[in-house]
Structure 1
Amino acid sequence: MIIYRVFLTINFSVQNSAKELSFHCKYNICVFFGLKAIFSILAKLEWNVMFESFKGKRTHLNLLWFLTYVGLLMNNPVYGSSVVPIIKQLSINEGISNSRITTIFQDSRGFLWVGTEDGLNRYDGYEFREYKHDPLDSTTISGNFIQSIIETPDGNIWVGTKDNGIAIWERKTNSFNSLYSLLHDKIQLSESDILGMAENNGFVWAVTPNYLVKIGVNLELITEYNHYNNVFKSGRYNSYPVVFRQDKEVWIGSKDGLLIFDLKKETFSRFQSNGIFMNDDISTLLFAEDSTVYVGCDSGLKKINLKTNELSYIWAEDSQVGYVSINCIVKSLDDEFWLGTQRGVELYKFPYSSHSVFNESEIGWEPLQDMQITSMLFDRSGILWVGTKNRGLVKVILAEPKFHSISASSNTPFNLNTYNFTAVMVDKDGVLWLGTDCDGLYRIDKEYKTARHYNVNHNLEYGFEDKVNCILEGEDGFLWLGTPYGIFKVNKSTGIVKEFNYAGSIEFANLLRHNSINDLLMDRLGDIWIATNFGLYKYDKEKIISFFEDTGNPEEASGLCSDVVNVLHEDKQGWMWIGTKKGVNYLKRAGERFSRIKNIQGEKLQLSDNDIISFGEGKDNVIWIGTRSGLSYYDKTKLKAGFFNNKKVLEQTMICNVLLDDYNRIWIGANKGIYYITSDGKVFTFTKVDGLPGYAFNTRSA
């Protein structure tokens, strides 16, 4: 069973200074899509999705919903689900050493290594670490102009540089050992301009202007084989491909065409078709199958039939001469060929005879069309990384997005006056109800794709917003609505909205009409609990009972921790949990006194913060407590409180919503995105790169 909850987000934008924030009043409602896609990064976890029908209460859930400022995100998108890539540009401002990218490589541990014309960079998904040459430190990289990167079986990274040999980054020591054309302790290279490298069976094969060099990964053996080089011709590329074919041959792209080295005979030959040598300047080679190799070169994209040695052209559309220079080729998981060219990113789909530049609607970001692409890589998660000549590194997420939206900008059938939602509920009939920040209530029928609007408070003066803070489905066929100006009820059959009669009490009518209703909860006895900015109330169908903060001796206090009650939760054993501005209260059974969990000055901390804004419950008798500064918990078995201590991620993070799925995994909507905590305490973060439309989630919205 997948969790069914709602998160609310607020979109702020910084203008002029960090202190000047501009509030965007239009929001949208979002539903999380594609949990299986997310769990692809958690490959070691089992994921078996089970669906269970929704029963109306907040504790019976079958989807994961998020309210954000971009749209309604659904796991069954039916309102315009075209895939638009998520694109992010990374340049000097993001910490990369230089915006001229030369090569991209992903190592066995998932790190991305980015070579530039001025330094080597390692990217961990969050930040870059820069490696540059220091002439006073022999353990630094030998040169800053990077031309090729590979990894050897021992986990070391070999870096080919321009005119400074091979720099070997040793993982154990986090330092470099370099091979120059000058004397080395064990071996010596004849040339230091490393144009390309590949690893095979414990040997590194490196190409220099005149040699193919075979080097043992233990640096104890070196052999150099002279290859053809037209000294009167200059190459246009900084690096060239080195590709093994069936452990029999090494295919090398060069400025003088295609060179083939026979591993058994240890001899070179030049590829020719119909008796004519191929003299193209070759930037990239891609073996699509045993009998076909695609060649990217200065004269375009070509295809070689290895059985017949026939060479054919794949034409470039919208080119006056019929071709464009190809700088790199990569193949996606769905067998599409992505080309990096002088005019941008292009796509070739087999078996068509031409390739073309993406238009703006396809790629989602027009500047990619005009960039000179130098290198590309599909990482193991399917993300496309694009290196450019002078605009840095571009990250392109092409997979089906995890989120689909219904918003003012999407192809939604619902014509709503506002997309600023503050509450959501699906009733027993499967109808979606949306409370807004300024325009009352909406009833959404997804099957018939219709929306009905309800004005909630007809007595508001001009300038006051018809806001709904929370929605509860009662047992009497009515919806209960908590607003900043009291409680209202909606007859689902007739659509008539009336104010709650407050059990006929003028006193409570005055108290609650001038009070913000923060949360509503119906317990297992059918009583309605009302959380407000001034006290906690219970309606038992006949009368209303109030509960307030204890102002007497704190050590003997048995009332609420604070009159400001933010959130309510009834656990599986019937305990009532009350989150206040100054701590947690819980009530085991009716008639008993409130118990407290809170931080007291001078005593050991029990919670990460006293301002409680959310609750969550798992299978292990633990209540998770979201605070304004971190995630806390109370273990009912051990009668012990504590907090989740992860300084890198959740410390001082506002935990707006806490949800636990059937596998006791914790989902958190926070002010910095969505977090996922596994049973062993590992934390995964989801951000805009993963498709989140925003970072800041509203409190009391689950």
Structure 2
Amino acid sequence: MVGQINLNFKTTRLLISLMVLIFAIQNSAAQNKKTLLFKHLTQENGLSDPTVRALHIDKDDFLWIGTENGLNRFDGTNCITYKKTKVNQSNIPGNYLTNIIEDKNGDLIIGSQSNLVKYNKKTDNFSLYNFSLPDLQQNYYSFPFYIDKQDNLWVYLAGNIYRHNSKKKQLIKITEFSNGYQFKSKPFYQELNWFISRGVKGIYINRIEDGKEKSATEYFMPSSNKNSLISHIEDVYIASDTLLWLAGEKGLIKLNPINGTYKVFNSHVKIKNIVCTAIAKYPNKPLLFVGTNGSGLLIFDLVTETFINHYEHIESDPYSISANYIRRIYIDSKSNLFLGIDGYGLDYTNLNQVIFPRYVTKAENKDNNITAILKLKDQVWCATKNSGIKIYNHDLSKTVSTEFQHLGINKLIQLENNNVLIELANGAFYLFQYNRNKFTPLKAIFSNNFKGKVDIHQMLKLGKDSLFGATEFGIARVQISKNNTIRFDLLNEPNISITWPNVQQLIQLPENKILVQTYYTAMYLFNVKHNQFTFEHKTIRTPYATNGKAVIGKYLYLATTAGLLKYNIEKLSEKEELLIDAKCTSLITDEHNNLWIGTEGGGLNYFNRALQTFKSYKNDPANINSISSNLVKMLIIDKYEKANLIIGTHRGMLNILNTKTGKFQHISNSKDEKGTIGSAEIVALAQDETGTIW
């Protein structure tokens, strides 16, 4: 008995020692992954807009934040906004910022979708760059990116890259091979002999000799002979003249620009087909920070050439990143890391700050914005960013089914006979045949045998049978055939009449007229008969994105990133009227042709056209009957209960507003159960003929 007891004691002691050793190893390994403790700057604490486009730390350690709706200066505590308004239209930068650089005097040069300005820090004043070229008088896109040793400014302006000598007031054209976003190869105030420009797809490497362009070499473009890979490139890290790291839709790409060889990295543990959106070098370590669309923040080891760490949004952790779509990464000289999170503002932390990691279940990780809402018959379909399509009954009280689980949905387009065309985030298309209750995959075919994902910004039905697409390569006729293919044929006539055929919107006007808006640049008027486009004239400059439109009588209303704008269709060349000075996300009309407008930060707005009055619905934490968030994403009117407005807001909340009582009903999606969306942000809504919400 004594021997047995001693044996058990020794065995127990051995087991305890092994468990302690295993725990120590695991704890040591866990601490090797630095857990970053993020703070958040949002509209609630002063940021003018939740989508960050440009970041810069100046010599006085102020952080300048360029958003899609205003310039902000952040001192670590307070946020000051510089923004064009009805009252202030002087020399303030355009509200949609593109890039911010700093000269040797500490002054800022700021590009936007509508002008180029310099900020004098000593006088706290903005001055507008004045150019003599006709296209650079007003509402032009600018992207400043370099200052050379002669103090010349290198800048992209309305379709071309120029070198600007401010003393001589001289503007010298360098190249037209660019899509409006550049990456410099050297620190400022040196001789610039090459730089990188983004294309619609891929990149150009622009080589300079004696101040003139020597060559422009294409990589990852449809017309490039060097690479079989075709990919949109969002960001670039230049390691050396012979090594580039590119963040693109196909993943993280390692490129030798001299011989054209490349390698793609797009998986980490269980994450496959990573879409990379931002990139930055980790200070003093052989690591890269890589931002993604939907997969959070990754760290890439340059020695082993593998992704080693992964940071995601965790709903239960207020110090995790705000969401998993990262648009910008910026690291300053003090190892402060800043992340521009799409639609959620700015996250920031210090890389020298370490806390112990906390492990969470997969169910806790929720970042699933709603991208489309469609109403078909008695159902409501909600398309989400990461979790497919949630189908509800007409009043959202019950989930009917979930389709395309774990997949992102871009668009839901209602066709004839209640059929629905579905575009997935990966570029795949499906057709839902209502009578057969069946989803059928479609093979996508593009003009000129183009292979790869094409950005389809919008689709417009003309009549019963004609469907047109606004694509990054121009206007395309869209045909769905019986052999399960969807074909996009680029049209010659409208596209050759457009200066830059990256088409964002097709807006149908009375009398067979269509306005064609190119991406953040201009609108063109066409006459369309029997599906034939006839060019009439260029109408207005449009340095904004259009998120909704309504044509009522002789007036055109546009919900844009620059606000709610009103145009006289008969006099489109005249200046627009600004009705709402806020970034507008959606626009619909009710049965009386009054307007409902969703905004980012300004809540839901109602415009009574007859009385010319506005009413605003905003979140009130003390009122359970108020709207759930001031960030409104999508709107539709219930076809069968016309007093009800269905609203998709921030973090995936669905709201039903009874317009007679002014009360909101909230459909919470926070539970991770069958039939719920999760923290899904709505980007589109639809209701079928039976009342079901899609």
- TM tier, smaller: 0.3 to 0.5
Indicate the structure with greater strand content: 2
Q: TM-score, normalised by structure 2?
A: 0.41
Q: TM-score, normalised by structure 1?
A: 0.41
Structure of larger gyration radius: 1
